């Protein structure tokens, strides 16, 4: 039975960099088994927030609880999968060699590499050098690494950047398949047309949260059917400009 406790709970999270605030006291929860879209323009703090969730970011204050444990707790190593903006795979190894290597580092079973290769649709490329993969295949290889060991939470930092609409659609289909199996996903993006693909949205601007709601609730709140226009409406509200 899936726990009713949030997969991620953030309270009062503050992060500074170079003497200026990057995250300004954030508070939110991520329900288990959901696809949370973390959206906002480049530089709004999405990557810093993701780094805080996976426990690799120095924070000034607040708490981040992941699967019932403090972010960065060693016990979370096999429970949280993380894919950075830049693919963390070796270009001079094949897809299968990469997955077997990272699987051994994580202590995953020897057969787990085969499982995730099939899961992300790279069975035909398993013997191909990563350096020869297309952009979409490279994104899938990075996702496969994040799925090793069967994590309960998968955090993906702009996994669809630079991909064409068809490849983006295929990846989002995979994200929802994972969520249907009980995995919680946090997916960051600066492409607002991906907002409608999420169960819940966390819209950010300049280190603050503008909205934390389902797409339908955001449309209802702003009176805008287009989610990009809804985002712009929220900015106008915040800044006191005409909506």
Spell out the domain ranges in the chain: 30-54+75-239
pTM as predicted: 0.92
Q: Concatenated DSSP letters for 150-180?
A: --SEEEEESTTTT--HHHHHHHHHHHHHHHH
Residue 47, both tokens: 């990557």
Task: Report the pLDDT value the prediction gives residue 190, as an integer from 0 to 100.
Answer: 85
pLDDT digits (tens, 9 = 90+) for 174-224: 999 999 999 999 999 888 888 999 999 999 999 999 999 999 999 999 999
Please identify, in words, the CATH class of the domain defined by 30-54+75-239.
Answer: alpha beta
Q: Is the pLDDT of residue 2 over 60?
A: no
Q: Is the pLDDT of residue 3 over 80?
A: no
Closest CA to 55 of 88, 90, 20, 13: 13
pLDDT digits (tens, 9 = 90+) for 149-170: 999 999 999 888 878 888 888 8
Nearest-angstrom CA–CA distance, 111 and 67: 26
Q: Which residues pair with 37 in a beta bridge?
A: 187, 201
């Amino acid at each position: 039975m899936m726990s009713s406790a949030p997969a991620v709970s953030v309270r009062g999270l503050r992060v500074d960099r170079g003497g200026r605030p990057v995250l300004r006291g954030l508070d939110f929860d991520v329900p288990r088994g959901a696809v949370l879209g973390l959206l906002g323009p480049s530089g709004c703090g999405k990557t810093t927030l993701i780094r805080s969730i996976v426990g690799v970011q120095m924070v000034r204050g607040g708490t981040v609880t992941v699967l019932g444990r403090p972010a960065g707790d060693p016990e979370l190593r096999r429970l949280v999968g993380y894919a950075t903006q830049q693919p963390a795979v070796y270009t001079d190894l094949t897809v299968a060699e990469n997955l077997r290597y990272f699987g051994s580092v994580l202590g995953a079973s020897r057969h787990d590499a085969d499982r995730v290769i099939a899961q992300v649709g790279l069975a035909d490329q398993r013997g191909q050098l990563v350096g020869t993969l297309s952009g979409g295949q490279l994104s899938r290889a990075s996702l496969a690494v994040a799925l090793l060991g069967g994590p309960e939470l998968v955090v993906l930092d702009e996994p669809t950047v630079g991909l064409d609409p068809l490849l983006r659609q295929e990846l989002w289909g995979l994200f929802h398949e994972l969520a249907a199996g009980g995995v919680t996903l946090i997916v960051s993006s600066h492409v607002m047309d991906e907002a409608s693909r999420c169960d819940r949205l966390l819209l950010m601007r300049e280190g603050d949260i503008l909205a934390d709601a389902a797409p339908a609730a955001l449309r209802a709140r702003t009176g805008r059917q287009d989610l990009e226009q809804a985002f712009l409406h929220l900015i106008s509200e915040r800044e006191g400009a005409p909506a």
